[in-house]
Structure 1
Amino acid sequence: MFLPHQLVGQLLNKRFDQDVRRHFFRGMDFAGPAGDPGWFGPGSAVWHVHSHMQALVFGLQCAAYLERLDPSIYWMGVHHSRLVREDTRAHDMPQLDPAGAAVRLGHSVAFFIGTAYGSTATAEHLSRTVRSMHHTIKGTRPDGARYDADDPEWLRWNYATVVWGLATAHELYHPQPLRGKKIDRYYGEFVRVGEALGGTGLPTTKKETLECLHSYLPKLAVTYGTAMATGPNLGLPHSALDWAVRDTMPPWAQRLIQHTNPNIVERTARRALVWSIINGVHVASGPVPEFEQAKARVAQPSGDRAQVDHVYA
């Protein structure tokens, strides 16, 4: 007989399989080749952080909110993704397309699970695919400024927002968070992903990442897209997760969007509520299958390495 949380977990996993795995995980190999640790492997900080799917998804939402403070990032999304409704794409005030935003999130989840737990060949294929997509993202903002997704400055900003979002969500909402030097291990390991996408001079610690993000402040602005999602928004429980996204931002970024933190008691209570939501879903859903497959893959004898290299060349 299934307990209520097991039934909820089954429903959540079925929905995730239908909406995400079926569409965005195709072609990824997590079960083989035998003995292949992939890019990170057992004992890595990346394996630990990304094993909590719900905190990972939340962290990606935090990163997306922070990164679009760069006007070029915002207009790249408008012009080159399904983030906004196609019939409003040429407008100065485009409207969000929820279905398109879900597609973008699905691709992101697949990428960060695939590079963490996929075989070496899978991680390399994913990074080449995303990098080739970046080559096509070039254009002009409505104010006449040009943008280019291959620009090293853009790559550094984009990378810093992602690693900050994922690491901060982990520190706040993982039941066994890495802290101090241990979380710096994550920042250091994750650089491999950023460099595979063409990034250079990337920050390798939490302190360096904060400094990197702050250095971009003169280039940032509250775009229309950010303004539409900005405001007090402190009511509970409907906006609890939305508030929590802003709560992960560096203090200077919170001031930029006029986000005001409540007193320490209320802030602690809000974080506790969000922790319960995120970890309640995590417990109900159970272990991430790709993580379990990767552990089994690495534990297998490697066999004929020459044959494996030939197959995945």
Structure 2
Amino acid sequence: MFLPHQIAHQTVQNVVDKQFDRYIRTRFFRGMEFAGPVGDPGWFGPGSAVWHVHSHMETLVFGLQCAAFIERLDPSIYWMGIHHSRLVKPESKDNPMPEVELEGILARLGHSIAFFIGTAYGSTATAERLALAVRSMHHTVKGTRPDGARYDADDPEWLRWNYATVVWGIATAHELYHPQPLRGRKLDRYYGEFVRVGHALGGTDLPTTKAETLDCLKSYLPKLAVTYGTAMATGPNLPLPLAALNWAVRDTMPPWAKGLIQHSDPNILERTARRAAVWSILNGLHVASGPLPEFEQAKARVADGLDPELAPHTMPTYRPGDDPVRTRTELEDAFA
């Protein structure tokens, strides 16, 4: 017999699962394989730090927002997003104050979640396909900012810094808000493992520890600025729940980045209370949503047929320059 609180929890979990299925899983997880082939560990496999970190969907999504906030400090990334994505309405592509397209933002989030879940828990073929899709899109992202500066998403220096923003955002969110966070050398295992994803996207000379990642981020400081997107994301008129999460995003930033946007840390008591509130929100959502189905499928896939002699993971096969040249339209048709 189920007790009332168990029934209530099951009801909430069903609602959360249905919403995630409706807006994310059915739209952006198509063609991804988690249950097979039996014995395939994928890029990471059981016992990996990546499997542990990415299994908490809510901190993963929060970490991606932390990464996106730092990314917007780079004017080139900001204009890449304006010119080459559906984040803003088409007529706003050359407007320094573009009009946001909500559907485009949700699609960007959906694709990001699918990528970081798929490369973590998907079969080797699924991870390879996702990496190819992202790389191929990056190959088409080249252009000129309104101030005349050129940008190129295949630029090695830019790829290195962009990779650092992502791994830093996810790892820092995990460290602060996961109920069982990795720390110290164990967290550095995550940085060291996740570099496979960066290499699969074409990155070279990537940081493999927390300290190296911080150094990489800071090295880009002379190229950064407060873009219009950053200013809007830190505005004073956000509704209360978003304002609290916005503060938490800025709280994860390195000291130099906080200085760039004039963010001041509150006293230790207030900061602790704020973090506790955000911890409760993220972990409350995690409890309500229940175990991540893709993680459970991946565990069963490996446990049901893992050969003891099989390597604990497979490695990305991409070599820079291997991808065929395709137009944006061809890519959207191929990976729809």
Aligned to 2:212: 208
Aligned to 1:59: 63
Name which of 250, 253, 259 aligns with 1:255: 259
1:110 and 2:114 are equivalent in the alignment = yes
1:224 and 2:228 are equivalent in the alignment = yes
Aligned to 1:165: 169
Number of aligned residue pairs: 303
**Structure 2 residue identity aligned to 1:224:** Y
1:271 and 2:275 are equivalent in the alignment = yes
| More moved, 226-235 vs 24-33 | 226-235
Are 2:67 and 2:170, in contact at CA under 8 Å, matched by a contact in 1?
Answer: yes
1:294 and 2:298 are equivalent in the alignment = yes
> CA offsets per residue over residues 115-148 of structure 1, 9 Å max, x none?
0000011111111111011000000000000100
Q: Which runs of 4+ in 1 moved over 3 A?
A: 231-238
Q: In structure 2, do the counterparts of structure 1 residues 216 and 233 end up closer, same or farther at CA, with 3 Å as the change threshold?
A: farther
> CA offsets per residue over residues 164-184 of structure 1, 9 Å max, x none?
000000000000000000000
Percent identical among aligned pairs is: 77
Q: Give the secondary structure class of the aligned counterpart of 1:239.
A: helix
Cα separation, 2, equivalents of 1:238 and 1:103: 19
Displacement of 1:237 after TM fit? 4.7
Q: Give the secondary structure class of the aligned counterpart of 2:30.
A: coil
Name which of 16, 19, 22 aligns with 1:15: 19
Cα separation, 2, equivalents of 1:143 and 1:211: 28
| More moved, 234-243 vs 278-287 | 234-243
Q: Give the secondary structure class of the aligned counterpart of 2:233.
A: coil
Are 2:33 and 2:122, in contact at CA under 8 Å, matched by a contact in 1?
Answer: yes
| More moved, 72-81 vs 82-91 | 82-91
Q: Give the secondary structure class of the aligned counterpart of 2:108.
A: helix
**Alignment map for 1:1-313 (pairs within 5 Å):** 1=2, 3-231=7-235, 237-301=241-305
Cα separation, 1, equivalents of 2:198 and 2:242: 34
Are 1:34 and 1:302, in contact at CA under 8 Å, matched by a contact in 2?
Answer: yes
Displacement of 1:301 after TM fit? 2.1
Q: Give the secondary structure class of the aligned counterpart of 1:130.
A: helix
| Unmatched segments (≥5 aa) in structure 1 | 304-313
| Unmatched segments (≥5 aa) in structure 2 | 308-336
Cα separation, 1, equivalents of 2:244 and 2:25: 27
Cα separation, 1, equivalents of 2:98 and 2:239: 26
Displacement of 1:91 after TM fit? 1.2
Are 1:234 and 1:240, in contact at CA under 8 Å, matched by a contact in 2?
Answer: no
> CA offsets per residue over residues 102-125 of structure 1, 9 Å max, x none?
110100000000000000111111
Cα separation, 2, equivalents of 1:24 and 1:47: 20
Aligned to 1:308: none
**Structure 2 residue identity aligned to 1:220:** L
> CA offsets per residue over residues 195-238 of structure 1, 9 Å max, x none?
00000000000000000000000000001111112256799555
* Pairwise CA RMSD: 1.5
Are 1:232 and 1:259, in contact at CA under 8 Å, matched by a contact in 2?
Answer: no
Cα separation, 2, equivalents of 1:300 and 1:28: 19
Displacement of 1:87 after TM fit? 2.3
Are 1:72 and 1:141, in contact at CA under 8 Å, matched by a contact in 2?
Answer: yes
Q: Give the secondary structure class of the aligned counterpart of 1:147.
A: strand
